[in-house]
Amino acid sequence: MRFPRHQVVPFAGAPRSLFVALFGVLGCIGVQPGPSAGQLAASRASVPTPDIEELLGKMTLEEKIGQMTQIDWKLAKNTDDVRKLYVGSVLNGASSLPEPNAPQNWVKLVTSIQTRALSTRLGIPIIWGTDAVHGNALVRGATIFPHNIGMGCTRNPELAEKVGRAAALEMLATGIPWTFAPCIAVPRDERWGRTYEGFGETPELSEMMAAAMVKGLQGEPGQPEGVLACAKHFLGDGGTAGGKDQGDTICSEQELRAIHLPGYAAAVKAGVGSIMVSFSRWNGAPMHANKHLITDVLKGELHFEGFVVSDWEAIDTLPGSNDSKIEAAINAGVDMAMVPLTYQWFVSSLRHLVKKGRVPMARIDDAVRRILKQKARFKLWEHPFPDPAYASQLGSPEHRALAREAVRQSAVLLKNQDAVLPLPKNGHILLVGSKADDMGIQCGGWTTGWAGRRGNVTPGTTILRAIEKAAVGGKVKFAPGVRGADAADAIVVVVGEEPYAEGTGDRKELGLSRDDVSLITAAKASGKKVVVVLVTGRPLPIEQVIAGVQAVLVVWLPGSEGDGVADVLFGDFKPTGKLSHSWPRSSSQIPINQGDASYAPLFPYGFGLGY
């Protein structure tokens, strides 16, 4: 469904000064009464996009540096700094959420800060960024799609494009025009805590899905409902030694290009408007200061015309003095600095560096031009405020149905002895495991918070509820442990990982928890048919644990629509998912990737049974 972002409205044609006088007095974020989002969206409908070169010509150095600065709304010392420092972008870090976390509070928040930006001399709108990495998932009530590792198993770029489009519409429902997604990392070592954020271990998957997701998020040129995408993290984030988050990727340039670059080439070709630099190093050298890769390869060779944004406070992790960190990053080709904690220092230091000639004015103009062009492309002058026409998109039945489809297609059937699956709907099932009825666990990280958490994080259908709904004419008993199995025809055991994000998910060893292993052992001991459902952000070595169980279905981090899992278990959908990672036999076999010289995984890359 398409929604017009251009509307015929009561305030159309009102001059900017009147607008600022009327609405520029909104005080603290999100709490004071003021014009409705509808009035605001309407009041600005007539401001045309300026000529970017002309605008650039009018800007002072301070205004240009402001455009290159991104702050976090909650961590900012004073949100009025948006106005005072001419800040060009505001983000909500994944922990900087409005309270209560309701869509209308997001709308108020974005509106309030945008109002400040528009009250500046040139009235350049900010571009608000968020981590909508599996749907607009930081917002409670949004549709939560499977994390990318599952999307990779679908091998279905058309589906990824639809998911991107739905995510964009749900973002527009909260007035946010920029997502730090897709993550197109190629995770080569599953001990990395961000393995689930990438589409899979091969450049082939990153390439195929990056382009599709970018197209879905940004829309075709001329379509009204796109948001700016951001491919991340450039370059080699998934290749670090030992799978260490923000670590060192040690390899030749040839290997770096062969494994980690194809996704970027595809994303650039698909028109991606922004790219985030990786926290990681390449052969010891920090990516944020790598002029060769950012400027020569990405902007030169690949002809990337969008802007490059730094990762969260990453410039501050560079070696050297404060000034030399900024000098190195900006001269390497970083256009916008994500500096939630150090923005005041960034602004004054960059001004000093330009005055001293250590950062050329031409570099500043290039950065600002790139940023303004994306703002123009996504029509932020015409539509700086949330448009209420999108409100009903958030968590809509259509998007939930799409997410259910994505869950079905991402599930991979690893084992199915004696064709125990699909289960008959009219049988008697004993369902065990605390992870069967936990929305937070099935959504994983980056869901209504940074690391994610257990429990009722957002509305949706848990795996338990989905199985109960689907088992028409049958009996489903849910128990924390394997007791009362006598009457059951089969035991379904739901096990897996607890939520985590970034480095909090780094592990030396992978595997199931002791409790999960005991549950499976008890189920096997009952003599009943045992079906294991794995909820996980990466392959876990489980060779011994699953010996003796009849079926294993890995559903990754499926998100809010557990119905897709039930669809596969009961055969309403015959599994088609193919592994996006090689499945190791043991932790000591990691890293293991398709094409390795000696390759003997438990299940190879691309494996997946059907019925």
Amino acid identity, residue 387?
A: D
Minimum CB separation from ligand BGC for residue 465, in Å?
A: 31
Closest CB to ligand BGC among residues 67, 89: 89
Minimum CB separation from ligand BGC for residue 338, in Å?
A: 7
Residue 595's H or E segment, with its range, is: none
Using CB under 6 A as the binding rule, whether residue 316 contacts ligand BGC is answered as: no
Residue in 63, 81, 131, 497 binding ligand BGC, rule: CB under 6 A:
131
Residue 301 is classified by DSSP as I
Pairing of strands 412-416, 89-91: unpaired
Pairing of strands 127-130, 178-179: parallel
Number of residues located near ligand BGC, criterion CB under 6 A = 8
Using CB under 6 A as the binding rule, whether residue 335 contacts ligand BGC is answered as: no
Strand extents, DSSP E, 17-166:
69-72, 89-91, 127-130
- How does DSSP assign 473-521, residue by residue? TSEEEEESSS-S-TT-SEEEEEEEPPP--GGGG--SS----HHHHHHHH
Binding mask 449-488 for ligand BGC (x = CB under 6 A): ----------------------------------------
Using CB under 6 A as the binding rule, whether residue 267 contacts ligand BGC is answered as: no
Of residues 366 through 425, those in contact with ligand BGC by CB under 6 A are none
Tell me which of 190, 204, 311, 567 is the catalytic residue: 311
Using CB under 6 A as the binding rule, whether residue 311 contacts ligand BGC is answered as: yes
Residues in the chain: 611
Minimum CB separation from ligand BGC for residue 316, in Å?
A: 12
Closest CB to ligand BGC among residues 339, 411: 339
- Among candidate residues 73, 140, 134, the one with its CA nearest the CA of residue 101: 140
Q: Which two tokens stand for residue 319?
A: 């070696």
Catalytic: 161?
no
Minimum CB separation from ligand BGC for residue 225, in Å?
A: 22
Closest CB to ligand BGC among residues 41, 94: 94
Closest CB to ligand BGC among residues 149, 429: 149
Residue in 66, 88, 93, 135 binding ligand BGC, rule: CB under 6 A:
93
Minimum CB separation from ligand BGC for residue 488, in Å?
A: 43
Using CB under 6 A as the binding rule, whether residue 180 contacts ligand BGC is answered as: yes
Minimum CB separation from ligand BGC for residue 312, in Å?
A: 4
Catalytic: 497?
no
Residue in 178, 199, 304, 312 binding ligand BGC, rule: CB under 6 A:
312
Minimum CB separation from ligand BGC for residue 301, in Å?
A: 24
CB burial of residue 481 (10 Å; 0-12, 13-18, 19+): middle
Closest CB to ligand BGC among residues 310, 461: 310
Using CB under 6 A as the binding rule, whether residue 232 contacts ligand BGC is answered as: yes
The values of phi and psi at residue 572, to 5°, are -70, -20
Using CB under 6 A as the binding rule, whether residue 506 contacts ligand BGC is answered as: no
Closest CB to ligand BGC among residues 128, 570: 128
| Beta carbons within 8 Å of 285's beta carbon, 6+ residues apart | none
Residue in 94, 287, 423, 430 binding ligand BGC, rule: CB under 6 A:
94
CB burial of residue 441 (10 Å; 0-12, 13-18, 19+): buried
Please check whether residue 417 is in contact with residue 39, taking contact to mean a CB–CB distance below 8 angstroms.
Answer: no
Closest CB to ligand BGC among residues 91, 523: 91
228 vs 378: CA distance, rounded Å = 7
Closest CB to ligand BGC among residues 131, 170: 131
191 vs 592: CA distance, rounded Å = 11
Tell me which of 201, 245, 316, 502 is the catalytic residue: 502
Contacts 24+ apart (CB under 8 A), 591-596: 591/188, 591/189, 591/190, 591/243, 593/188, 593/201, 593/202, 594/201, 594/202
Q: Half-sphere exposure (CA, 13 Å, Cβ side) for 165?
A: 19
Helices 157-172 and 397-410 pack at an angle, to 10 degrees, of 150
Minimum CB separation from ligand BGC for residue 230, in Å?
A: 8
Task: Kindly list the residues in this chain that would bind ligand BGC in the complex (CB under 6 A).
Answer: 93-94, 131, 180, 232, 311-312, 502
Which residues form the catalytic set?
311, 502
